[in-house]
Amino acid sequence: MAIGAVIARIITQYSAKGSKAAQKDIAKLGKDFDKFAKRSALAFAAAGAAVGAFTVKVGTDAVRAAMEDQKSQVLLANSLRNTVGATDAAIAGTEDYITVLQKQVSVTDDELRPALSRLVAATGSIAGGQELLSTALNVSAASGADLATSVGAIIKASAGQFKALKTLVPGLSNVTIKSKNYGKALEEVNKQTAGAASKRAQTLEFRLKGLNIAYGEVLETLGYALLPVIEKFADIVTTKVLPQLEAWIAANKDKLAASLDTILTKLPALIIQVFDLFNYIQRNLGTIQVLGALLVSTFAAAKVYAGVIALSGAINVLTAAFGRQAAAATAAGTATAFATGGASALAAAAALTVFATASLVTYKQLTKNNKELTKTEKTTTAIAKDYGKVVGTTGKVLGNTTKLTAEQQKQLASQVALNKLKAMGVVPTSETNPIQLEAVRLNLLKEQNLAQQRMYDQLLANYNATERMNIAAQRYADILTVIADSKISEQEVNLLAAKWNLTNIEVLKYIASVTGNVNLGKGWDAAGYAAADGWKAALEELNKYLAAVGKGAFVAPQNIPGGGGGGMPPTTSDVVDKIVQDFTKAVETIPNPQTSLPGYGAYRESERTGMSSMLSNTALPGYRDYRAGERASSPNVNITVNGSVTSSNDLTETVRNGILAGQTSGRSITARVLDL
Amino acid sequence: MADEVIVLTGIKETQDALKQFDKAAARKFNKVINDALTSAERSADNLVVQFTNPVYGTPMRGWRKTSAANPRTRGGAGWPAWDVSTIQAGITKSRAQGKVRGDYTTSAGALINKSAAGAIFEVAGRTGNASRNQFIRYLSNSFGKASRLIWAVVDKDKDEIQRRVAAALDEAKKTLQTNLNGRS
């Protein structure tokens, strides 16, 4: 938004964005209120306590003031009655006068009453007394003297003594004083001091006094209200408490007196004894000091003695060990111990004992070390001597190194080679030719490497065997799991094939080889596979034999016609039977040259009857020719089969096709011929 | 300026919720606010034309019509030029919420007078002693006291706009409630 843009809000909506802050503010406000309330409560509590204390004080002051006022009133009333025979009404009127006057002139009634009482007595009338009281108040105000002094001066003046009044009122003429005219003097005094009391009452000081007086009146009023209570309390104490106390004292006064007598009797004796003790100490202070010093010194001496005794062994040990110097050091140590810790000399002795023991051990060790050092020194000396020789020899060697002959160089090389062999653990031989030695070394290295290689191969073979054992064990466990139900399903074969990384057929063969039960693979043509293997083996053996006898390889028939006739396709068993028959026939048709020799039957008979020693097949007529012919040529074996079987593969293919033709599972065989 | 302020609650919430149930109702509510603000904006634009002397092309004869090259002094070089189209373009409506005031309210619709000349014309003489300044004195005598453009419109139409928006908001809330009831 541009700076200085004017925004006029038309639609206003509430936003809760600041509400949390507001809640905080409100919460804070609430807390502030709580604090204020607590503080206020405390303040009010303090104020209440203060008020309570103030109340107590006010009450106390009120009672005290009331008592004083009452006392003052009683005295005035008594004086008025005695001097002028004032009636109660006159006394009450006088009290009213006093009350009004104290407010006017700010002088307390406790001062006014005695003054009025004295003036009434001097004048013989209440009215005269009141008149003179006014004069006295003015004189007091004008002169600054207190009311009692003013009253006394006026009373003296009424008796003809004007000196005091002259002092307070200097303007009083000497003529009047000399004339001793009391009336005239009083007239002059009134003239000179008129209104002084009223004027003084207007000043701040006396206005404050007036307030104090008013407060005092209030207190007195309150006190008068409280007085009956106090009087009642006093009455109770007087009538109830004190009589009981008196009765108790009366009952126990003898015991109290006896106890007191005992105390007074014993106390002087005790005091005397204490006094005597202190006196004795005072008198024998010097003796006690000496005794104390003696005790202390004795105690210390004992410690020193014990310390010396305790240390003697250590000192002797140290002396013997370190000789004079060690003894001196020990003595110094002991002295130090006594000087610094004489009071703990025994402790020092113990410490020194420990030190001595440690020192002894150290000494022995040092002695031992010294012996070793001496021995070492001797050795070192000898070494030093030899070192000189070595240096000389070395120098010569160094000098001659540059002049090494070829032989020496050879020896050096031989030594180096021998050292290398030594490092390999080879016992040095008499061989000195470095080249040979190096060859030996290299050969050893090679052998080592070969040995290492063999070791690695062995390890690897071991590992492989272990691995194979593990695999075999795992496979065996798998087989046991699979054949638990005495059959193998397609899914199980697939799983095993995937797990073993083999083909399905390899799996079946493996299982058959392990379990020896080819029937497990029923439905999986395991029997057919086994038969095919058997045929392969038989064919191989046959061909080997045929080759040995100089015949050609067996040719298996193909597309064997069905033996059952009727145009039905041949079954697997028919085909196999046919092949077996042909094979057997072919084998049987092979003539045995030896058995066909003349006299062979007699030879066999003599063999059965134990006459073989007399006859021998080699002695048979024509045997030589037989052997010669055998060597010259092998008999031909002709195997005639229908079809065009020309090789083992053809044979296995034929077998496989036959099996396929005979298998009933309908499952396609994916294995190749070579797999069979 | 109106003494009382009507504070509407839940404009944005209602609008957001209403969009989920009845977009037409949301648009209708939105249109009420926009129409009200547009009307106010147009009124302020009209005031700019109204206050422009057809002879001088400015409110006062001495007011520049082109901006000074070196804007420094008021009334002379630097005094913002009075250009009706610029001032009118500077008067826009806004529904931005802006800052939240201390009374926890924010704007849901406002007019803004952005141009320098428009702002001067709007608030010149609002504070201080206007009688000692000839420009302000003449401005006040001729066009009234401060609040001469957008604030004049707001003062005049605010209540009516607020009533309309409040009524639309109530209606939108009712619609929303109806939808919520139907949903439950």
ipTM of the complex: 0.86
For residue A157, tell me if it sits in a domain.
yes
Distance between start and end Cα atoms, chain A: 91
Q: What is the pLDDT of residue A161?
A: 87
Contacts of B94 in chain A (CB under 8 A): 7
Residue that the structure tokens 């302000």 belong to: B136
Q: What is the pLDDT of residue B94?
A: 92
CB atoms within 10 A of CB A155: 20
| Distance (Å, whole) CA B156 – CA A414 | 123
From A32's Cα to the closest Cα of chain B, the distance in A is 21
Q: What is the pLDDT of residue A444?
A: 72
Please compute the mean of the pLDDT values over residues A549-565 and round it to a whole number.
58
| Distance (Å, whole) CA A457 – CA A460 | 5
**pLDDT tier for residue A25 given thresholds of 50, 70 and 90:** low
**pLDDT tier for residue A374 given thresholds of 50, 70 and 90:** low
| Distance (Å, whole) CA A79 – CA A64 | 23
DSSP string across A242-277: HHHHHHHHHHHHHHHHHHHHHHHHHHHHHHHHHHHH
Query: Does the structure show a pLDDT above 80 at A597?
Result: no
Answer whether B111's CB lies under 8 Å from B91's CB: yes
Contacts of A17 in chain B (CB under 8 A): 100, 104, 106
For chain B, say whether A8 makes contact (Cβ under 8 Å).
yes
Backbone φ and ψ of B74, nearest 5°: -75, 140
| Interface probe with B: pick from A1, A3, A15, A19, most Cβ of B within 10 Å | A15
CB atoms within 10 A of CB A179: 12
For residue A142, tell me if it sits in a domain.
yes
Q: List chain B domain ranges.
A: 11-183
From B9's Cα to the closest Cα of chain A, the distance in A is 5
| Nearest beta carbon to residue B150 from set A8, A12, A13 | A8
| Distance (Å, whole) CA A370 – CA A260 | 90
From A29's Cα to the closest Cα of chain B, the distance in A is 16
| Nearest beta carbon to residue B7 from set A8, A14, A19 | A14
Query: Does the structure show a pLDDT above 50 at A138?
Result: yes
pTM over 0.80: no
Taking only the tens place, the pLDDT of each residue in A423-448 is 666 665 566 666 777 777 777 777 77
Answer whether A409's CB lies under 8 Å from A392's CB: no
| Distance (Å, whole) CA A184 – CA A190 | 10
Count of CA atoms in the C-beta half-sphere (13 A) of A576: 17
Size of interface A-B (CB pairs under 8 A): 103
For chain B, say whether A3 makes contact (Cβ under 8 Å).
no
- E strand segments, A154-227: none
| Distance (Å, whole) CA A110 – CA A98 | 9
A101: domain range? Answer: 52-246
| Distance (Å, whole) CA A113 – CA B178 | 98
Answer whether A541's CB lies under 8 Å from A573's CB: no
Contact A11 B116 (CB under 8 A): no
Q: What is the pLDDT of residue A670?
A: 52
| Distance (Å, whole) CA A89 – CA A95 | 10
Query: Does the structure show a pLDDT above 80 at B52?
Result: yes
Structurally, chain A folds into a number of domains equal to: 1
Q: Which of A125-129, A493-497, A573-577, A648-652 has the lowest mean pLDDT?
A: A573-577
Answer with the residue of higher pLDDT: A479 or B35.
Answer: B35
| Nearest beta carbon to residue B110 from set A2, A9, A14 | A9
From the number of C-beta atoms within 10 Å of its C-beta (0-12, 13-18, 19+), residue B158 rates as buried
For chain B, say whether A484 makes contact (Cβ under 8 Å).
no
- C-alpha dihedral sign at A46, A47, A53, A56: negative
Q: Which residues, in sequence order, are bridge partners of residue A11?
A: B109
